[in-house]
Structure 1
Amino acid sequence: MQTPLQPSPSPIAKDHGFQKWWQLARPHTLTAAFAPVLLGTALAIEVTKIDLLLFLATLIACLLIQAATNMFNEYYDFKRGLDTEESIGIGGAIVRNGIKPATVLGLALGLYGISILIGIYICMNTSWWLAAVGLVGMLIGYLYTGGPLPIAYTPFGEVFAGFFMGILIILIAFFIQTGTVTTTSILVSIPSFILVGAILLSNNIRDFDGDKDFGRKTLAILIGKKGAVTLLAGMFIVSYLWILGLILTGAMTPWLAVVLLSLPKAIKSVKGFKTGTNPLEMAPAMVATAQTNTIFALLLSVGLFISYI
């Protein structure tokens, strides 16, 4: 497939003015950065008094990195010819809304620059070791769709995304407040690792046919669509059982059982992928997967807050 050099005006472009720039950040995905920062900070309340300025700095930096990663995704998917006007998904700033590719790339780099400045402030008040961790995370965000062999085009996208957007952000937020990492913080972050990976898996299930035609070797393509949906269901089950296990063993407060309120979203996701036959029909199932991750983490935070009262 030949990659277009410039975007063509799209007759179905729906976003105008500020809206098209806001959609460029893919706001529906930003909760994937907000929720783990909140959870990591909630875990720290039992250990220390929370520094609100550091919390806000961590939150803003993570949101900027997430938005920049989305823009890199937008830019490189367009340059490789993967995005078209008919593509189903949350992208479209270039192919449908007519934003120049160079502008998208420039904005992504700019957001990275701002996040680095915020990171310097965080390191000055905590540890400079965080600088190395943050830079590695930013590099992975770029390499997810950038570079000669994008991570998103391999079977390892779910693992990388789950680790860096799930476990690592929680532990960074916890470390910034406490100066350490505990066994408890690691154990509680495991379901986020799984559920963030589930978001990427659901995306690859939805895009199965298009990715296969394009030559991507995602995990969903390797194990087949039916196998991928089964794996997705298994990831949900393990996440909930993991929290219940922590409760039953006495490692965590029973209030964490409040995460079960997010179960209907997980069920909706699996049912949607089982019955959907095309990307448009499966789009709500992907949204439900992302909502499961967000609500799950937020409810964990709520459970922790209640237990501290």
Structure 2
Amino acid sequence: MAGTIVVGNHTHEEILDSLNAVDEMAVGTRAGSRLRSRMMHFAADEDFRIYASSMKGDPKTLQIVNDPSISLLVLDRRTDQSGWREIEVTGRAEIVTDPAERARALEMVSGPSPIVAHLKGAGQTDILDFIRITPIEVKMRIFGEIVAGMPPTVVEFEENARAESDLAGVRKRFTAWREAVRTLSLLASLVPVVLGVAFAWNITGEIAWFPAVFTLLAAVAVQGGTNVLNDYFDHRNGNDAANREFVRPFSGGSRVIQLGLMTPVETLMLGAGLCLAAAVVGAGLAFAGHPWVIAFGIAGLLSGVFYTARPISWVTRGLGEVMVALNFGVLMVTGAYYVQTGEVTRNSILVSLPVAFLVALVLYINEFPDYRADLATHKRTLVVRLGRGRAAKLYPVLGAMPFAAVVALVVADVAPLMSLAALAGIPLWLSASRIVLQHSEEPFELAPANALTAIAHLTTGLLFALGYAWEELGRDGLPLAVALAAVGLGYIVYMYRSVERQRRIFAGVKTVLR
């Protein structure tokens, strides 16, 4: 790949010499209508391809995926000021996916970057994204020559100035929508629906599969829609702009508006569209013989959309945790049970309590990083009302409640004995409690506790549901139930070790930065 020098007296080799003499560059990307800049370590090859690296999920990476247009600026100051060389590169950025090119980028970037070098030595480079910047134009200015009226040296790469394909544009939109919906958080809808269906199966001896699938679709659409709408209203209310301590992906929302991945209007339309899709599915279930689904849907939308939206804004009234527990615990479990059985019973409400406590705990731990922003924008979360110190002491107490509820339901013969498998999530809660008590004021250090709480919600809820399925499967289905339980326990061990590994990695990175 050879560029053409269209003006100037300097060679490719001279420009590459300056690029290779400097370790850091200023990186400018577009975030919607705004521009964002950051310093990054880099390395350049002989064809002017430039490689950089960042943590997976980093906002800079998301901006590059959404809009690959990029501008780089490098300043070579090895001489006196008249000889300083300023090199500007405009081009297109892409995430490196080819394993061979990724290995090459790792070797190149580990030289100038001490963080990449540390992760390479520790064998932990899987947490990194490598970025390739393909140049469209390279411009070198030498200060003394500019003062003397001489033109800069400009190298053009016409073959790289290609237009973006329609397919790439569609992929970008889906990537932005996926970020806005917060796909990982949708497990909060999966768990209660699975539990409601499993409990109904235990009572009736059968599963109505099509209604079960459409119940799950409606629940996921409601959650996705309310996630997006809450981001929109947080933007309108100034909460996201005030939040500087969020820890992605656990707190601070998706930030698709702040990152320029979506406009406020697009965010509003996506959220409304998902809520409309949920309403359509709910209407279909109602016409299929489950009329009270409409009431469940309305209650879900009111509790979800108006979590932040005015004039209700449950969170500013100090009811955020209660509404989340009711919506993603009681409402979804009993709703799924109702669609299967045509009724709501006292026991179906009791069965929902462990999941309700767990999802409230997930929200609670995610309020710690958002504390200052919530305080500034009058969100009366429990952490804001208590303060981080006292709230940290309450976390172990709240974390014990779902496990106590599981034991109580088994003792009361509302849940089968095998539902005690849910207690396998206790080590996750204990580990998270230790981290919260030590790092309640440090959002970055607190992140493993956010992850462990989310994992506890997923695994504890599903293992609790498995207890009902296990009993219903009977002796013939025992191998399947044992296999599912083993998968659940294995997942807990795997995720616990993964979180601990991430914690050690970031501790090592902090040591390098000191």
Q: If the length of structure 1 is used for normalisation, what is the TM-score?
A: 0.92
3-state SS of 1:104 partner: helix
- Displacement of 1:225 in angstroms is 1.6
Q: Distance in 2 between matches of 1:284 and 1:67?
A: 24
- Displacement of 1:174 in angstroms is 0.3
- What is the count of residue pairs matched by the alignment? 304
Matched, 1:116 2:279: yes
Q: Distance in 1 between matches of 2:238 and 2:429?
A: 32
Q: Distance in 1 between matches of 2:295 and 2:404?
A: 34
The residue type paired with residue 13 of structure 1 is K
**Residue 13 of structure 1: which of 60, 64, 71 is its match?**
60
Equivalent residue, structure 1, for 2:194: 38
Equivalent residue, structure 2, for 1:155: 318
Q: Which stretches in structure 1 are left out of the alignment for 5+ residues?
A: 1-5
Equivalent residue, structure 1, for 2:247: 88
Cα deviation, 1:13-51, whole Å, max 9, x if unaligned, reads 322223332111111210000110000000011223211
Q: Distance in 2 between matches of 1:73 and 1:268?
A: 30
Q: Which structure shows the bigger proportion of residues in strand conformation? A: 2
Matched, 1:182 2:339: no
- Displacement of 1:95 in angstroms is 0.7
- Displacement of 1:305 in angstroms is 1.2
Moved more, 49-58 or 204-213: 204-213
3-state SS of 1:67 partner: helix
Equivalent residue, structure 1, for 2:466: 302
Cα deviation, 1:81-101, whole Å, max 9, x if unaligned, reads 222485433322111143101
Matched, 1:204 2:367: yes
Q: Distance in 1 between matches of 2:33 and 2:268?
A: 14
C-alpha contact (below 8 Å) 1:9/1:96 kept by paired residues: no
- Displacement of 1:152 in angstroms is 2.2
Matched, 1:25 2:159: no
Residues 1:68 and 1:246: Cα distance change in structure 2 (over 3 Å): same
The percent identity for this pair of structures is: 27
Q: Distance in 1 between matches of 2:454 and 2:317?
A: 21
Cα deviation, 1:58-77, whole Å, max 9, x if unaligned, reads 00010011011110121111
Q: Distance in 1 between matches of 2:350 and 2:231?
A: 34
The residue type paired with residue 344 of structure 2 is V
C-alpha contact (below 8 Å) 1:42/1:304 kept by paired residues: yes
- Displacement of 1:126 in angstroms is 2.8
**Residue 296 of structure 2: which of 113, 129, 133 is its match?**
133
C-alpha contact (below 8 Å) 1:206/1:286 kept by paired residues: no
Q: Which structure shows the bigger proportion of residues in helix conformation? A: 1
Q: Distance in 2 between matches of 1:306 and 1:218?
A: 38
**Residue 456 of structure 2: which of 289, 292, 297 is its match?**
292
Matched, 1:60 2:86: no
Moved more, 41-50 or 58-67: 41-50
Matched, 1:74 2:209: no
The residue type paired with residue 307 of structure 1 is E
- Displacement of 1:149 in angstroms is 4.5
Matched, 1:236 2:399: yes
The residue type paired with residue 285 of structure 1 is A
C-alpha contact (below 8 Å) 1:171/1:181 kept by paired residues: yes
Q: Distance in 1 between matches of 2:176 and 2:306?
A: 25
- Displacement of 1:127 in angstroms is 2.5
Residues 1:149 and 1:288: Cα distance change in structure 2 (over 3 Å): same
Q: Distance in 2 between matches of 1:99 and 1:240?
A: 40
Moved more, 179-188 or 70-79: 179-188
**Residue 258 of structure 1: which of 417, 421, 425 is its match?**
421
| Higher Rg of the two aligned structures | 2
The residue type paired with residue 185 of structure 1 is S
- Displacement of 1:10 in angstroms is 4.0
- Displacement of 1:144 in angstroms is 0.5
Q: Distance in 1 between matches of 2:284 and 2:379?
A: 39
Q: Distance in 2 between matches of 1:290 and 1:80?
A: 27
Cα deviation, 1:130-168, whole Å, max 9, x if unaligned, reads 212211211221111111342123321000110111111
Moved more, 266-275 or 54-63: 266-275
Aligned Cα root-mean-square deviation (Å): 1.9
Cα deviation, 1:101-145, whole Å, max 9, x if unaligned, reads 100000111111111111111111233222122112112211111
Q: Distance in 2 between matches of 1:196 and 1:287?
A: 13
Moved more, 195-204 or 145-154: 145-154
- Displacement of 1:195 in angstroms is 1.4
Q: If the length of structure 2 is used for normalisation, what is the TM-score?
A: 0.56
Q: Which stretches in structure 2 are left out of the alignment for 5+ residues?
A: 1-31, 38-58, 66-171, 474-514
Q: Distance in 2 between matches of 1:110 and 1:295?
A: 30
Q: Distance in 1 between matches of 2:221 and 2:323?
A: 19
